[in-house]
Amino acid sequence: MQQHMSEKRNQGRRGRGNGAGDQPSPQWADGLRNIYDSVVNEPLPDDMLALLASLDADGEK
């Protein structure tokens, strides 16, 4: 599972670098990624988990 997650993550991020490569990126550019990554690393809130759990309850929702 853990491996699966990180695999997904890398797939999703394969474009990194292409996008930022055209110009020198200032130090604060890392801050944008930090903001993003800090949320990615948060545990999911309970209501989000509950919603996910409810998705296959009736197969349709």
Q: How far is CA 15 from CA 12, 19, 42, 44, 52, in A?
A: 8, 7, 23, 25, 28
Per CB under 8 A, 41 contacts other proteins: yes
Per CB under 8 A, 18 contacts other proteins: yes
Per CB under 8 A, 47 contacts other proteins: yes
Per CB under 8 A, 2 contacts other proteins: no
| CA-CA-CA-CA dihedral for 57, 47, 12, 22, to nearest 10 | 150
Please report, as ranges, the residues that interact with other proteins according to CB under 8 A. 4-5, 8, 11-16, 18-20, 22-23, 25-42, 44-45, 47-48, 51-52, 55-56, 59, 61
